[in-house]
A and B are shown apart, each in its own frame.
Chain A
Amino acid sequence: MSTSFKHSLYVDRESCKGCTRCMKQCPTSAIRIVQGIAQVDPEKCIDCGQCMAVCPHQAITIKGEQFNTIFSYTRRVAIIPSVLIGQFDEEVTEQMMIDAIYDLGFTDVFYAEFGIDILRTLGNHISVYSDSLPVISSYCPAVVRLIQLSYPSLLSHVNLVKTPSQITSMYARSALENEGVLPEEIGIFYISGCAAKVAQVLNGPSARKELMSGTLNLDTLVNMMQPLLSKPSRSDKPFAISHPLPPITSSSFLYSVTGGESAGMSGRKMAIDEIHNVIEFLDLVEDERLSPVDFLELRACDTGCTGGILTVRNRFCATERIRYSGSKHPEELPPDVAKRITERGQDLLYHLKSERLTSKPALSLDENPIKALKKLEKAHAIEQILPGLDCGLCGYPSCRVLSEEIVQGNTSIRSCSVLKMNSPETLNRLEKIWGSLPRTIRDA
């Protein structure tokens, strides 16, 4: 099975020691250690970034654009998440941060979560499109992909409204083109605090209206802003021009931290964060073991987007700062901003809904259930022989996964180091029963 999904995480072969930490942490068992190096199965990866968080060797990194690519465009739009504001301490005001972003070379700056205000202005309420209750938020791309891979029965629950950053991007493009800027002159860059959103942009809609030009990693941008905001340079040379703060309402500003999205939803709602909690919860929803609830906000990261893998500051401090800064923003958009949104309404209204999601099952052993059952039986027989230590030395996250991979013909029972150590003779016998590795794979 080939995949067309582009992932953002990649393993640096030089730095990886094959220590198995990422493999054991991965919530979808997508990682194998092959010849001492971690390998991510693109079919199973949901770009949650858990592997990157536990890697002690910084061997897992996220592909972001080189900053200089922004200069290929004459209008350089930064779509920043409010999480960025949480990355600095109180001494740095929001105004200073925005000025610093302009100073780095951007010509226009929008808050990603402004997309919520656009949606509210155009729809007069937050629109929800989904076929089943409870509605599951589509905001966290890692969660959406997890549902596609492991919970296909829940796809009809996913809210099919575009994400705030996608809506903001459409608005920015529409507004600039309306000013007479040529489409090819507009570069829209999303500043991403996590791997999943980078992947989302990489796999984004191909329609020009909605297209983002790329993503920049949040930590890179924070590092570039830091010298501009450090004390000496600030007192010597304050920013020449003070730019207006990008418009946003206080509730939208809090959208990405846990509870921020569900706060705006009507009915009974819950907010669940951290990927393992989310998995536990999706099982409850799938088995209809949940008391009636209308809306579920699910986030792969602890505390929401402030826990993103590319954030710099402690997530609790960042969350507090966002709440504080958010309280300074108005509850309603200024009338002139609302008017500008309404003027762009025709360009946006028919593009607010995202495409229907399809399942991408990656759990089954075979497309044909009868063949899958045969394989499952064989895998169970093999698992009985394996030591059950889940030590990971074979390069697979557990004895169960190893037994399934043997059945799939991807490895042989010889890869079990514990069996090899304990009884090499038995291993020879077992290999006769369960087969050795096909020559083609052995020679590869």
Chain B
Amino acid sequence: MTYSYDVQAKNFTRAGAVSSEFKKELKKLNLPSALIKRIIIALYEGEVNVVAHSYGGSITCTISSESVIITIQDTGPGIPDIALAMKEGFSTASDEVREMGFGAGMGMANMKKNSDSLHITSAEGKETRIDLSFLLTFEEGT
């Protein structure tokens, strides 16, 4: 089951729309609420990154009987130093973005913390693609 969403750059009024839409779907599956929470927190961070830092992009979420795979794909401008971007507190957010209450530098770290695996491909001037995966276990606390 695959869901595809478009994400507009700089449209902060819609930031979070994808994650809340997808959360409603996950809640129909009787998954442990702690698992849903992890997925949604990571997805939200990824969604906000696309809104705040990129030229726009898309998100696809695929649910199978083993996992939830989320692919966040933007159209640039790319991350020059991925290792630095993963650091807690590191932020390249503009003042404009910070004024909206975003850009605390926890986005990438939160994505890593909440997912079972995270894979980034990016380079300066290139597109960024982030693959997040979550294993479906049915035993996490509710």
Contacts and interface: CB of A to CB of B under 8 A. Distances in A.
Contacts of B33: 152-153, 359
Given A150-B27, A365-B28, A369-B31, A287 B41 contact: yes
The number of chain B residues touching the other chain, given as a range, is: 20 to 34
Contact of A376 (B1, B16, B36): B1
A367 B1 contact: no
Contacts of A373: 1, 29, 63-65
A369 B23 contact: no
A368 B16 CA distance: 28
B30 interface: yes
B138 interface: yes
B14 interface: no
B92 interface: no
Interface string B41-62: 1001000000000000000000
Interface residues of A, number: 25
Contact of A364 (B23, B30, B34, B64): B30
A289 interface: yes
Contact of A287 (B25, B30, B40, B65): B40
B136 interface: yes
B34 A153 contact: yes
Contact of A153 (B20, B25, B37, B136): B37
Contacts of A369: 29-31, 65, 136, 138
A283 interface: yes
A359 B37 contact: no
Contacts of B101: 291
Interface of A: 150, 152-153, 283, 286-289, 291, 359, 361, 363-370, 372-373, 376-377, 380, 404
Interface of B: 1, 16, 19-20, 23, 25, 27-31, 33-34, 36-37, 40-41, 44, 63-65, 101, 136, 138, 142
For the complex of A and B, the 8 pairs showing the least CB-CB separation, nearest first, are A364-B30, A153-B33, A372-B29, A363-B27, A377-B1, A369-B29, A365-B28, A370-B65
